[in-house]
């Protein structure tokens, strides 16, 4: 069984407020993109993982955590050998680990004939990672709550994107960025719902409508982040937007040709840049 695990970007990301459980309620428009990891699943007596990134070959990899959780909740005793080939940068705000987990949930549910429906898979996924419920389906969606409340939207009028992933490692990244958020950064999700309404109406998605509440905190938390942002703007990108809690940035070119130019200019500085497209599931 061969599967693709697609990355995502956040066209908007707002924090509504803190929950009693310590987490935050969010409002976001999420979009999957063509950039993806490749996963192969084979029947096996044991449950094992082989990843082409050596440091991810651990028992705590979310892929194995997810597989064990599915086996526990369904009572299945089968095993599987999972091969993971990474293309999505790690801990970059692109949902790579969650995308892998979502793909594995789909694959093992089929391989093991576990009988979980879409709602049950999403419910299990929500306990494992906030992005998993959305990534189980992908496309364009309004995502709320901790990530468990996913409302599919019509396909956004969006094609090419250029991603720039700074080579910055930050320990406990999500916590470090969240710690810089204050109640003054909270909102009612108006920007997100405005863009959702525009998408529902068949309108375009101008980058001027994009927003990420973590833009400022990420610039503070990631050393040298402002250099990457200004460098991206310097190649001609008018709106440079953070995705997730960072550090990846993206911008929308007017054409593939312009996107290629941006990608090459950013790569000429030794930076990790890639031109990709928006992606939607076939059904």
Domains (ranges, CATH) in the chain?
A: 2-152 (3.30.230.10), 160-277 (3.30.70.890)
Residue 168: which region, alpha, beta or left (left: phi > 0; alpha: psi -120 to 50)?
A: beta
Residue 34, pLDDT score: 98
Out of 171-180, 206-215, 229-238, which region has the weakest mean confidence (pLDDT)? 171-180
Active site residue 52: no
How does residue 169 score in pLDDT terms, banded at 50, 70 and 90? Answer: confident
Instruction: Answer yes or no: is pLDDT of 283 > 80.
Output: no
Are 148 and 122 contacting, i.e. CB atoms less than 8 angstroms apart?
A: yes
Mean pLDDT of the chain: 96
Residue in 8, 37, 100, 173 annotated catalytic: 8
In the prediction, which pLDDT does 174 show?
Answer: 86
Residue 68 has pLDDT above 80, yes or no: yes
Kindly indicate the confidence band of residue 171, based on its pLDDT and cuts at 50, 70 and 90.
confident
Q: How far apart are CA 56 and CA 129, in angstroms?
A: 17
d(CA 109, CA 128): 16
How many Å apart are CA 138 and CA 47, to the nearest integer?
Answer: 26
- Indicate the pLDDT class of residue 18, thresholds 50, 70 and 90: confident
Residue 20 confidence (pLDDT) above 90: no
pLDDT value of residue 265: 98
Our answer to whether residue 2 is catalytic in this structure is no
Residues 6+ apart with CB under 8 A from 271: 164, 166, 167, 228, 231
Rounded to an integer, the average pLDDT of 213-228 is 95
Judge if the upstream peptide bond of residue 33 is cis by omega within 30 degrees of 0. no
Check 59, 131, 149, 215 and give the catalytic one.
131
- Where do the DSSP E strands lie in 73-222? 79-85, 140-145, 149-152, 160-165, 211-212
What is the spatial distance between Cα 133 and Cα 60, in angstroms, rounded to a whole number? 20
Parallel, antiparallel, or unpaired for β 79-85 and 47-51?
parallel
> Per-residue pLDDT averaged across 183-206, rounded?
94
In which band, very low, low, confident or very high, does the pLDDT at 40 lie, cut at 50, 70 and 90? very high
Distance of CA 52 to the CA centre of its chain: 20
Phi then psi dihedrals of residue 11, to 5 deg? -70, -35
Dihedral angle of Cα 276, 61, 136, 175, to the nearest 10 degrees: -80
pLDDT band at 99 (very low <50, low <70, confident <90, very high): very high
Helix (H) or strand (E) holding 204: none
Residue 57: the pLDDT is: 94
Residue 283's Cβ-count burial label (10 Å; 0-12, 13-18, 19+) is exposed
CA distance 154 to 108: 28
């Amino acid at each position: 069984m061969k599967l693709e695990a697609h990355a995502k970007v956040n066209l908007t990301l707002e924090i509504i407020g803190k929950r009693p459980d310590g987490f935050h309620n969010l409002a976001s428009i999420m979009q999957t993109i063509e950039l993806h990891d490749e996963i192969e699943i084979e029947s096996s007596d044991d449950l094992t993982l082989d990843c082409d990134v050596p440091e991810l070959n651990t028992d705590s990899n979310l892929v194995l955590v997810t597989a064990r959780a599915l086996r526990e909740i369904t009572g299945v005793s089968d095993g599987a050998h999972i091969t993971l080939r990474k293309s999505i940068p790690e801990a970059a705000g692109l949902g790579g680990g969650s995308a892998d987990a979502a793909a594995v949930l789909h694959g093992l549910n089929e391989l093991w004939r576990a009988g979980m429906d879409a709602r049950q898979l999403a419910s299990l996924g929500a306990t494992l990672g906030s992005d998993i419920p959305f990534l189980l389906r992908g496309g364009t969606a309004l995502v709320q709550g901790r990530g468990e409340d996913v409302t599919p939207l019509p396909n956004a009028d969006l094609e090419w994107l250029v991603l720039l992933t700074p080579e910055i490692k930050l320990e406990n990244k999500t916590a470090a960025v969240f710690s810089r958020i204050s109640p003054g950064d909270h909102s009612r999700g108006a920007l997100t719902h405005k863009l959702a309404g525009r998408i529902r109406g068949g309108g375009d998605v101008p980058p001027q409508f994009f927003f990420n509440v973590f833009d400022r905190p990420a610039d503070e938390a990631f050393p040298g982040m402002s250099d990457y942002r200004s460098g991206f703007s310097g190649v001609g990108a008018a709106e440079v937007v953070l995705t997730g809690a960072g550090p990846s940035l993206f911008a929308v070119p007017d054409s593939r040709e312009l996107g290629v130019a941006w990608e090459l200019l950013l790569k000429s500085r030794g930076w990790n840049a890639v031109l990709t497209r928006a992606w939607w599931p076939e059904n």
